[in-house]
Chains A and B, each alone.
Chain A
Amino acid sequence: MLNNLSLQQAKQLLRQKKATSLELTRFYLERIKKLEPKISAFITVCEKEAQDQAKKADELLSQGDKKPLLGIPISVKDNFNTIGIQTTASSKVLESYIPPYDATVVASLKRAGAVIVGKTNMDAWAHGSSTETSDFGPTKNPWNIKTLPGGSSGGSAASVAADEVVASIGSETAGSIRQPAAWCGVVGLKPTYGRVSRYGVVAMGSSLDSPGPITKTVEDSAMILNILAGKDKFDATTSPNIVEDYSKNLNKNISGLKIGISSKYFKKCESEVEKKVEQALKVFEELGAKIQEIKLFDPQYAIAVYTIIQRAEVSSNLARYDGIRYGNGRSKFGEEAKRRIMLGTYALSAGYYDQYYNKAQKVRTLIIEDFKKAFKQVDVIVGPTSPSTALPLGASKGHPMFGEMADILVEPSSIAGLPGINVPCGFSREDLPVGMQIIGPQFSESIILNVANQFEKNTDFHKVKPKL
């Protein structure tokens, strides 16, 4: 009865007293115990804390409390500070770090009544798209444990796909929510930059980082965004724009909606991925949407822009780790972090700033303008999320640009700060999930969630679960 519950279903079960939060939490803790030797989605499992939170939730539930996530077991990526619970960002530099405070996202989840069952594995410092650069070993894809879950929120996506939790929280700089969601066959929403607070998230690319939900359904994604979105006095880049009710428009008819597609995005893909997304477009047409070809900047330039900006921001953000106030010293950085810090330092060093960083920021302006032009013609843009399905374990090793190639189709919209959502849209011959992304203008979360939900309601891909 407790298998494969969506957030909405779990909520109903608790409200109707068909299960208690403690039962639900113990169910997932048992499942985690059983599956972790295979999947390794978690860095830390909070067995005791989760059961304590669940007991409290049950008390409140019996009093009729209506907190939106009351008693719901979720996981959180290990780059969100959690008071009293080790937070490593999957790096040995932070191996023994116990935060004295909660990230704003974590505080919001707790206020909403969520039960945090554990902290999920990721590429160390979120540097990567495989979860293979974790200093604590890779996470495996629940669909085929010989393949990668994607990353950097690979542990979060795998924990949802393996039904080890109801939902999870990830973070995306450029692809780190959408790409693992695609490879693990779940829903991943990257909100507009500034929609969700970055306070207390281990910083990677500060002009890009966007926390967001990874869920089993689009409806769940909207429910969690309702809790996460909003201005935070601790993060000056959060938007004062009104927080909408993101669940409100989910069932709106999309007849007449204008969907843009760019052949440049499809050409970069494996033919199977291309085919599945093209079939998905037919679903939209049947629902009355109009598909039109638009011209977009070649994503290969976005990769170059992203590589420079991200490395530069990384070198600056990771300069704070000195092993004095907390964490270990700089010799504990893994190879990928060292490589990125060095490239960023080089790009920002005297004599190269104009040539690389300043140039990248100028091209960033052109990419933003390019999307603005596109959104004058269409309401949303649809394309494949990743050029391939999940790649085999080991695929990222020795390739300094692996992440960029895996994220080629998500980096342009990230650079522009746009929201995007991945929804499952089919399976390859090897039974690996294929993901499609829907991108909208800044603060159009309601629209892309609506479009994603209409697709989900008219297809069955989200109902297929991995055999574990």
Chain B
Amino acid sequence: MSNVKGKTSSASIDVDHVAILANIPISESEKKTFEGQLEETIKYIEKLQEIDTKNVKPTSQVTNLENITREDIAAPSFSQEEALQNAKSTYNGFVVTEAILEEQ
């Protein structure tokens, strides 16, 4: 809890920063719209702070199932052709992407 950034009842979201984290390109006009709408939504979900959750455990799933495993056996799967059929750009049976590491 050490890095909770105070109360956000007057939440202000750094839309540019969030857009970078989310890898979403947004226009200037979208930025304006989103700022207001995201703050409106945050204000609504702030309601939860009214509820006392001391000593309550969080629920991340409702199945009560744990550690579901299966035998690690290879089975028929996609052919290379099928696996690549939707890729925009391929070369010699590989998917082509832009370089993500730059040369020194």
Residues of A contacting B37 in the complex (Cβ-Cβ under 8 angstroms): 339, 400
Verify B58–A364 contact, CB threshold 8 A.
yes
Verify B85–A98 contact, CB threshold 8 A.
yes
The 8 Å CB contact of A351, one of B4, B18, B33, B82, is B4
Interface string of A343-355 (1 = CB under 8 A from B): 1111001111011
Which B40-90 residues sit within 8 Å CB-CB of chain A? 40-42, 44-49, 51, 53, 56-63, 65, 68, 70, 78, 82-83, 85-88
Q: How far is the CB of B66 from chain A (nearest CB, A)?
A: 10
Verify B40–A335 contact, CB threshold 8 A.
no
Q: Interface majority SS on B: helix, strand, loop or mixed?
A: loop
Residues of A contacting B60 in the complex (Cβ-Cβ under 8 angstroms): 207, 361
The 8 Å CB contact of B86, one of A236, A327, A350, is A327
Given the known inter-chain contacts A300-B47, A417-B62, please indicate yes or no for A345 contacting B22, CB distance below 8 A: yes
Verify B62–A368 contact, CB threshold 8 A.
yes
Q: Interface majority SS on A: helix, strand, loop or mixed?
A: helix
Given the known inter-chain contacts A301-B47, A363-B51, please indicate yes or no for A326 contacting B87, CB distance below 8 A: yes
Tell me if B97 is interfacial: C-beta within 8 Å of chain A.
Answer: yes
Interface residues on B, range: 35 or more
Given the known inter-chain contacts A339-B37, A354-B1, please indicate yes or no for A359 contacting B23, CB distance below 8 A: no
Interface stretch (choices A144-152, A159-167, A317-325): A317-325
Give Cα A351 to B17, complex, Å: 14
Given the known inter-chain contacts A193-B62, A237-B61, please indicate yes or no for A352 contacting B1, CB distance below 8 A: no
Interface string of B18-36 (1 = CB under 8 A from A): 1101111110001001100
How many of A's residues come within 8 Å of B, CB to CB? 62
Residues of B contacting A325 in the complex (Cβ-Cβ under 8 angstroms): 86-87, 95
Residues of B contacting A75 in the complex (Cβ-Cβ under 8 angstroms): none
Verify B21–A345 contact, CB threshold 8 A.
yes
Verify B34–A342 contact, CB threshold 8 A.
yes
Give Cα A107 to B60, complex, Å: 29
Verify B24–A330 contact, CB threshold 8 A.
yes
Interface stretch (choices A66-74, A247-255, A302-310): A302-310
Give Cα A364 to B45, complex, Å: 13
Give Cα A353 to B38, complex, Å: 16
Given the known inter-chain contacts A236-B65, A339-B38, please indicate yes or no for A366 contacting B56, CB distance below 8 A: yes
Q: How far is the CB of A267 from chain B (nearest CB, A)?
A: 17
Closest to B56 in A: A362
The 8 Å CB contact of A366, one of B44, B46, B51, B97, is B51
Residues of A contacting B63 in the complex (Cβ-Cβ under 8 angstroms): 193-194, 237, 239, 417
Tell me if A341 is interfacial: C-beta within 8 Å of chain B.
Answer: yes
Residues of B contacting A361 in the complex (Cβ-Cβ under 8 angstroms): 58-60
Cβ-closest 6 pairs across A and B? A326-B86, A361-B58, A417-B62, A362-B53, A236-B68, A345-B22
10 contacts between A and B (CB under 8 A): A100-B85, A240-B65, A304-B44, A326-B87, A345-B18, A351-B3, A352-B4, A354-B1, A362-B53, A401-B40
**Interface of A toward B, CB cutoff 8 Å:** 96-98, 100-101, 193-194, 207, 233, 236-237, 239-240, 300-301, 303-305, 307-308, 315, 319, 323-327, 330-331, 333, 335, 338-339, 341-346, 349-352, 354-356, 358-366, 368, 400-401, 404, 416-417, 442
**Interface of B toward A, CB cutoff 8 Å:** 1, 3-5, 8, 13, 15, 18-19, 21-26, 30, 33-34, 37-38, 40-42, 44-49, 51, 53, 56-63, 65, 68, 70, 78, 82-83, 85-88, 95, 97
